[in-house]
């Protein structure tokens, strides 16, 4: 019988699907991550087969938590980024539970990273409101207050300075516009300042690829709110998925 404090966390991405068992009391992975390339097109049935492969790899028979690159409401996927549009309107939790034969909880990938960072990473022991922003191909977001997630915020799609925020301030926009780190930090900082005005957070956590280069941009931000780079790196989605499943599986 699986220990109730151990959950299999799985992170569904556009290029790879990776998972590992997680001790939800410590946030530690209990085995090396197992990664399988995302099937071309990322059709729901094909993704479900990969998830059952990961489940079998670990000999897992307990609850499973999965991230998803899109909006998720009560287990139903409402948008789909970098995966098949057949996910839109699908009861993904039921599909994956039927495939694995075990309870499955599904949540947005940035929300999972935010939960993990707030509990075990850069936001550990921070009270109040924590906002995680992942700067990559787009801008993902998560808002956590005293450990409770406000799901599906999608701040990257807000209009800001006449643009969709992620089209102007993401890491992809930095590369596209050939910006130096100081110039990019001015854009990212302006957007974060707007969120600061709206939400008065106690901490910003910056994830995504730019988190590994914090020494190049962090000193160029001019914000009242402390800013910390994410610390859990590639494990954040797995850990957050497991935390969410632990809290919502009955």
Q: Encoding tokens for residue 132?
A: 């995680």
Give the contacts of 175 (CB within 8 A, at least 6 positions apart): none
Contact 144, 150 (CB under 8 A): yes
Please report which confidence band the pLDDT of residue 1 belongs to, taking 50, 70 and 90 as the band edges: low
Overall domain count for the chain: 2
Task: Examine the domain organization and report whether 128 and 98 are in the same domain.
Answer: no
The DSSP element (H or E) to which 194 belongs, if any, is helix 181-199
Judge whether 118 lies within some domain: no
pLDDT digits (tens, 9 = 90+) for 45-76: 999 999 999 999 999 999 999 999 999 999 99
pTM (2 d.p.):
0.95
φ, ψ of residue 54 in degrees (nearest 5): -65, -40
Residue 55 within a domain: yes
Task: Tell me how far apart the alpha carbons of residues 107 and 13 are, in angstroms, rounded to a whole number.
Answer: 13
Q: Would residue 44 count as lying in a domain?
A: yes
Domain membership of residue 128 as a residue range = 124-231
Assign 212 a pLDDT band (cuts: 50, 70, 90): very high
Question: Based on the domain organization, do 39 and 85 belong to the same domain?
Answer: yes
Is 197 inside any structural domain? Answer: yes
How do beta strands 64-68 and 6-12 pair? parallel
DSSP 38: P
């Amino acid at each position: 019988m699986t220990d109730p404090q151990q959950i299999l966390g799985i992170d569904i991405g556009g290029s790879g699907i990776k998972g590992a068992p997680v001790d939800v009391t410590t946030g530690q992975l209990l085995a090396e991550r197992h990664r399988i390339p995302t099937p071309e097109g990322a059709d729901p049935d094909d993704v479900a087969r990969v998830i059952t492969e990961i489940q079998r790899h670990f000999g897992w028979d307990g609850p499973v938590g999965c991230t998803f690159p899109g909006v998720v409401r009560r287990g139903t996927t409402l948008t789909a980024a970098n995966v098949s549009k057949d996910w839109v309107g699908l009861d993904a939790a039921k599909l994956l539970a039927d495939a694995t034969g075990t309870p499955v909880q599904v949540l947005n990938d940035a929300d999972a990273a935010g939960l993990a960072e707030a509990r075990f990473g850069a936001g550990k022991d921070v009270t109040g409101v924590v906002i995680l922003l992942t700067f990559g191909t787009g801008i993902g977001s998560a808002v956590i207050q005293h450990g409770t997630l406000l799901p599906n915020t999608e701040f990257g799609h807000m209009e800001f300075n006449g643009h969709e925020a992620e089209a102007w301030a993401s890491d992809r926009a930095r590369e596209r516009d050939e910006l130096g780190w100081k110039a990019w930090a001015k854009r990212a900082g302006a957007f974060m300042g707007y969120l600061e005005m709206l939400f008065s957070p106690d901490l910003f956590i910056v994830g995504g690829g730019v988190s590994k280069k914090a020494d190049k941009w962090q000193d160029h931000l001019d914000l009242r709110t402390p800013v910390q780079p994410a610390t859990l790196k590639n494990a954040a989605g797995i850990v957050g998925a497991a935390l969410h499943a632990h809290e919502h599986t009955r």
